Amino acid sequence: MPPLTALSVLQTTFGYPAFRGHQGDIIQNIIDGHDALVLMPTGAGKSLCYQIPAIVRRGVGVVVSPLIALMQDQVDALNELGVKAAFLNSTQDYETAQDVERQLRAGALDLLYVAPERLLMPRTLDLLQSLDIALFAIDEAHCVSQWGHDFRPEYIKLSVLHEQFPSVPRVALTATADPQTRAEIALRLQLTEAREFVSSFDRPNIRYTIVEKNNGRAQLLNYLKAEHAGDAGIVYCLSRKKVEETADFLSKNGIPALPYHAGLDISVRAANQARFLREDNLVMTATIAFGMGIDKPNVRFVAHLDLPKSIEGYYQETGRAGRDGAPANAWMAYGLQDVVQQRRMIAESEAGDDFKRVQYAKLDAMIGLCETITCRRVQLLHYFDQSSEPCGNCDTCLHPPKAVDGTEQVQKLLSTVYRVKQRFATGHIIDVLRGIDTERVQQFHHAELSTFGIGADASEAEWRAVIRQTIAQNLLTVDFESFSSLQLTELARPVLKGEQKVKLRIYEKPVKTKRTANHS
Ligand code: ADP
Ligand code: ZN
């Protein structure tokens, strides 16, 4: 029998003619016994990168994955192809696990899938010590990052693999890793010697669109009716309640939709997910609990009704669209409330200051992507350290937005915030700017302020957009400890003094409205 080569396994076992992208190099690197850190977007073909070396190398390849629910399917698919694979996790009964261990001892397996908590049990580590190990593959390696939303504490302990099995090559794989997360993976998993293979993160068939939110749900409905009648897609919302309300709302308006969030009964979740995978015209309304490991090729759109916490989250969620390569849409409605809400969640979390700082920075990058007037894809890829040309397939390329000099408008806003002693929230500030004689205005004598009514030429929605961008540019902050009042930052001073100009993005043609009440 001729020796197994990577290419012959690809062709005879998996039935594919050629490697894609870096696959060939990655596989050879591992077959040669070296470590690797693999960054590849979802759907690009990470699995073969460890499956083939596990088959070619002597011994069993151990795949660490947090996705217990998918192990059965993965193993079934491999067995179907004639690859000897099995898994060990908490869903198995004792007998089945015993049987897998017997096969391992007999050297009868090419691949073993195992959950990290199972792998780390002394008993499992002892068992593995007695075997020939072809490699360790650490899937979804970004779970090691404490700053990310998929953090799994057991992942940090996976450094024992390096200590206990120093001569076994290890490969860590992930679809989401900005340079910071990448460095964290290398450090925590002791992969500092590993070769990094970074694939292009571009998903050219996905069109990115971010609209200004006024009534998110109604905007979504219009958008889906216009662009995605009868299509399968995912709508992400922040809260469980909103997930359910949105699913109801879409269903009542003729778009079949099901909810998915971690608060639903496991059987309901499983049933909804199964229907989503099976049917071709279903919308899944979900929290971010939905999606990791979901492989449905014909998801035609991913919509966000709330702002994700980071660009990685946005990229990962939108990446579930168009895995078949056909055109797909990533659509998001974004507004002032999103910025305030996300900042509040960070401010009010129990986390330490370092953690909060990182979260604020990630959020700021996400807000920057929303507010940009240049190509969204360029910004998105830049975040992952990849440079590219304007794409022609995002809203800012297709309908270039205008940036105007908003200095005067922002000065009006900042001085109003100053004059009300930085003690009032958005709604009241807008009333003062627009010269609306509310009960509150009377109570605090704010009609006497010199800025009362100086912003009456703009609508409430326009002022919200100005405030949002002013917060996004860190000229204003929201003080959550005092009734969400708006406060000036250090950066506001040069703007107020006329030393610094401010650019504002105009989303749609501003519709001028008459003031609704008059103070004189
Ligand atoms: P990922 O884990 O990166 O999301 P998968 O490993 O699940 O991606 O692969 C996605 C799909 O691409 C699978 O259906 C896989 O069989 C297919 N695929 C992977 N590599 C190749 C290849 N070299 N040629 C053709 N199809 C491939
Ligand atoms: Zn573009």
Residues 172-213 have pLDDT tens digits of: 999 876 788 888 999 999 998 999 999 888 999 999 999 999
Distance 280 CA to ligand 1 centre (A): 21
Closest atom of ligand 1 relative to the 46 alpha carbon: 3
Distance 92 CA to ligand 2 centre (A): 48
Dihedral class, residue 293 (left if φ above 0, else alpha if ψ from -120 to 50, else beta): left
Phi, psi (deg, nearest 5) at residue 283: -100, 130
Distance 344 CA to ligand 1 centre (A): 40
Pocket lined around ligand 1, Cβ cut-off 6 Å: 16, 19-20, 23, 40, 42-48
Ligand in nearest proximity to the CA of 291: 1
Ligand in nearest proximity to the CA of 67: 1
Distance 168 CA to ligand 2 centre (A): 43
Sign of the dihedral defined by the CA atoms of residues 359, 364, 365, 367, in that order: positive
Q: Are 165 and 60 in contact (CB under 8 A)?
A: no
Ligand in nearest proximity to the CA of 74: 1
Task: For a ligand 1 pocket test, name from 46, 48, 81 the mutation site with the most ligand atoms within 8 angstroms of its C-beta.
Answer: 48
Phi, psi (deg, nearest 5) at residue 241: -60, -45
Closest atom of ligand 1 relative to the 47 alpha carbon: 6
Task: For a ligand 1 pocket test, name from 14, 23, 81, 299 the mutation site with the most ligand atoms within 8 angstroms of its C-beta.
Answer: 14
Q: How far apart are CA 259 and CA 244, in angstroms?
A: 6
Give the residues across from 258 on adjacent strands: 284
Distance 292 CA to ligand 2 centre (A): 26
Question: What single string gives the DSSP state of each residue in 341-352?
Answer: HHHHHHHHSS--
Task: For a ligand 1 pocket test, name from 20, 197, 315, 320 the mutation site with the most ligand atoms within 8 angstroms of its C-beta.
Answer: 20
Residue 169, SS3 per DSSP: coil
Q: How far apart are CA 251 and CA 249, in angstroms?
A: 6
Closest atom of ligand 1 relative to the 20 alpha carbon: 23
Q: How far apart are CA 231 and CA 152, in angstroms?
A: 34
Distance 19 CA to ligand 2 centre (A): 29
Closest atom of ligand 1 relative to the 17 alpha carbon: 24
Which tokens is 271 given? 């049933």
Q: How far apart are CA 55 and CA 245, in angstroms?
A: 48
Closest atom of ligand 1 relative to the 139 alpha carbon: 2
* ipTM value > 0.90: yes
Closest atom of ligand 1 relative to the 44 alpha carbon: 3
Ligand in nearest proximity to the CA of 208: 2
Closest atom of ligand 1 relative to the 49 alpha carbon: 6
Q: Of 399, 386, 419, which Cα lies nearest the Cα of 488?
A: 419
Look at ligand 1, atom 24, and give the residue with the nearest C-alpha: 16
Tens place of pLDDT for every residue, the chain, 520 residues?
566 899 999 999 999 999 999 999 999 999 999 999 999 987 789 999 999 999 999 999 999 999 887 898 899 999 999 999 999 998 889 999 999 999 999 999 999 999 999 999 999 999 999 999 999 999 999 999 887 778 899 999 999 999 999 999 999 999 876 788 888 999 999 998 999 999 888 999 999 999 999 999 999 999 999 999 999 999 999 999 999 999 999 999 999 999 999 999 999 999 999 999 999 999 999 999 898 777 798 999 999 999 999 998 999 899 999 988 899 999 999 999 999 999 999 999 998 888 888 889 889 999 999 999 889 999 999 888 888 899 999 999 999 988 899 999 999 999 999 999 999 999 999 999 999 999 999 999 999 999 999 999 999 989 998 998 999 888 999 888 888 899 999 999 999 999 999 999 886 553 444 444 434 3
User: How much is the pTM?
Assistant: 0.78
C-alpha R_g of the chain: 27
CA–CA–CA angle 408, 414, 420 (5° rounding): 135
Ligand in nearest proximity to the CA of 390: 2
Closest atom of ligand 1 relative to the 14 alpha carbon: 16
Kindly give, in sequence order, each residue whose CB lies less than 8 Å from that of residue 1, ignoring residues fewer than 6 positions away.
none
pLDDT in tens, 304-337: 999 999 998 999 899 999 988 899 999 999 999 9
Q: Of 132, 133, 150, which Cα lies nearest the Cα of 141?
A: 150
Kindly give, in sequence order, each residue whose CB lies less than 8 Å from that of residue 312, ignoring residues fewer than 6 positions away.
142, 148, 176, 177, 178, 181, 362
Q: Which residue bears the tokens 């070396």?
A: 53
Distance 19 CA to ligand 1 centre (A): 10
Ligand in nearest proximity to the CA of 372: 2
Ligand in nearest proximity to the CA of 375: 2
Closest atom of ligand 1 relative to the 42 alpha carbon: 4
Ion ligand 2 neighbours, Cβ < 5 Å? 375, 377, 391, 394, 397
Q: Are 87 and 310 in contact (CB under 8 A)?
A: no
Task: For a ligand 1 pocket test, name from 38, 47, 111 the mutation site with the most ligand atoms within 8 angstroms of its C-beta.
Answer: 47
Residue 163, SS3 per DSSP: helix
Look at ligand 1, atom 12, and give the residue with the nearest C-alpha: 45
Distance 162 CA to ligand 1 centre (A): 28
Look at ligand 1, atom 25, and give the residue with the nearest C-alpha: 16
